[in-house]
Amino acid sequence: MTLEKLEDYFLSINEKKYKARQLFDWIYVKKIDNFDNITNIKKEVIEKLKSDFYFDKLEIVKKEVDVDVKKYLLKLHDDRTIEAVLMEHDYGNSLCISSEVGCNMNCSFCESGKIKKQRNVESGEMVSEIMAIEKDTGVRISHVVIMGIGEPFDNYDNIVDFIAIVNNPFGINLGSRHITVSTCGIVPKIYEFSDIPYQVNLAISLHAPTDNLRSKLMPINKVYNIESLIESIKYYLSKTNRRVTFEYIMLDKVNDNPSDAMELAKLLKGLNCYVNLIPYNETSGIEYKRSSKTRILEFYDTLKKNNINVTIRREFGSKISAACGQLKSSKEKV
């Protein structure tokens, strides 16, 4: 629950709303996992809390470790599983979290969408992804990217609550500028997201500069085409003044031609943005190949020459299938 919802809860049981802050402190700062450990709230109220809430601890089912990266398979209360990936950067520890069990977006290159969406990951479960992994490693997570399994804007309300909970100074106190939401382009939600009072980073999975190609790679483009997507991003930029990231996976001879780079530069000209080129991670059963280093560098150069800010994504975890597009929910219950 967000602090505001918890305050309303306390008011509804005729208690003072400041108790919500106390509870936030117990849960997120003192990190208790049992209501009986609370010492400054009276017994009857504790009993009431126990009957209305429970601690939803995610169980770590499997952990795989590589240099600078750890991948976790986490079991939810209904035995469904999701994955989260912890990456060590020089600026801190960044956690990539899942927002849905499975995904309905069906992007042709992505492993995560091979299992249909089974349900939303609740805001509290997303918070638990952070807490479970902080507890396991003993490190503080300073950055969160919502780039794991699922389409965050297909689970919009939980995402916004999640941001409110982790950003709250009485709780985990994660700076909103340290949170990034990545979407395949659910346009109405980009408009809504532009109006929330948090300075969260937005990343867009673009992957193609023309409708023809993008619709082949990403079915969502048939619903919200590139023009409508760019319109919504202009609105986001006008409201937030925050630079947008465009993610662009490099698929050999599919979207990495020099002409694609030119089209992309034309499309993004004048937008406050940068392009993050992602070397494609080949996954089982999907036929695309990763672009060669030379083709990636040529693409990069063309964008640079056309004054588009561009970076090539550092690679994490491909050995343990923890890289972008390789995460998956297991179909069976564990």
Cα–Cα–Cα angle for 158, 90, 138, nearest 5°?
A: 60
The answer to whether 232 and 190 have CB atoms below 8 angstroms apart is: yes
The answer to whether 146 and 181 have CB atoms below 8 angstroms apart is: yes
The piece of 49-57, 86-94, 134-142, 280-288 that touches ligand SAH (CB under 6 A) is 280-288
State yes or no: is 324 an active-site residue: yes
Q: Of the two residues 49 and 250, which places its CB atom closer to ligand SAH in the complex?
A: 250
The answer to whether 251 and 260 have CB atoms below 8 angstroms apart is: no
CA distances from 229 to 98, 206, 220 (A): 23, 9, 11
110 binds ligand SAH (CB under 6 A): yes
Kind of pairing, strands 201-205 and 143-146?
unpaired
Which of 2, 167, 255, 281 forms a contact with ligand SAH (CB under 6 A)?
A: 281
Report the 10 Å Cβ neighbour count for 147: 23
Catalytic residue selected from 96, 107, 184, 324? 324
Q: Tokens 């919500």 correspond to what residue?
A: 20
109 binds ligand SAH (CB under 6 A): yes
Catalytic residue selected from 7, 83, 129, 247? 83
322 binds ligand SAH (CB under 6 A): no
The piece of 55-63, 68-76, 132-140, 279-287 that touches ligand SAH (CB under 6 A) is 279-287
Task: Outline where DSSP puts E strands in the chain.
Answer: 59-66, 69-75, 81-89, 92-96, 100-101, 119-120, 143-146, 179-183, 201-205, 244-250, 273-279, 309-312
Instruction: Count CA atoms within 13 Å of residue 75 on its CB side.
Output: 10
254 binds ligand SAH (CB under 6 A): no
Report the 10 Å Cβ neighbour count for 232: 22
Q: Tokens 């990069």 correspond to what residue?
A: 300
The piece of 13-21, 122-130, 169-177, 275-283 that touches ligand SAH (CB under 6 A) is 275-283
325 binds ligand SAH (CB under 6 A): yes
Which of 27, 95, 278, 310 forms a contact with ligand SAH (CB under 6 A)?
A: 278
* Phi, psi (deg, nearest 5) at residue 26: -65, -45
Q: Of the two residues 133 and 145, which places its CB atom closer to ligand SAH in the complex?
A: 145
C-alpha span between 278 and 280 (Å, rounded): 6
Which of 183, 221, 255, 302 forms a contact with ligand SAH (CB under 6 A)?
A: 183
155 binds ligand SAH (CB under 6 A): no
Q: Least distance (Å) from ligand SAH to the CB of residue 78?
A: 22
Which of 283, 291, 329, 330 forms a contact with ligand SAH (CB under 6 A)?
A: 283
State yes or no: is 134 an active-site residue: no
C-alpha span between 95 and 179 (Å, rounded): 10
Residues numbered 199 to 238 that lie near ligand SAH (CB under 6 A) are 205
Q: Of the two residues 104 and 309, which places its CB atom closer to ligand SAH in the complex?
A: 104
Residue 155: CB partners within 8 Å, gap ≥ 6? 99, 100, 120, 121
81 binds ligand SAH (CB under 6 A): no
Q: Of the two residues 69 and 324, which places its CB atom closer to ligand SAH in the complex?
A: 324
The piece of 82-90, 178-186, 190-198, 236-244 that touches ligand SAH (CB under 6 A) is 178-186
Q: Least distance (Å) from ligand SAH to the CB of residue 130?
A: 17
Q: Which residues bind ligand SAH (CB under 6 A)?
A: 105, 107, 109-110, 147, 151, 182-184, 205, 247, 249, 278, 280-281, 283, 324-325
Query: Which residues does the annotation mark as catalytic?
Result: 83, 324
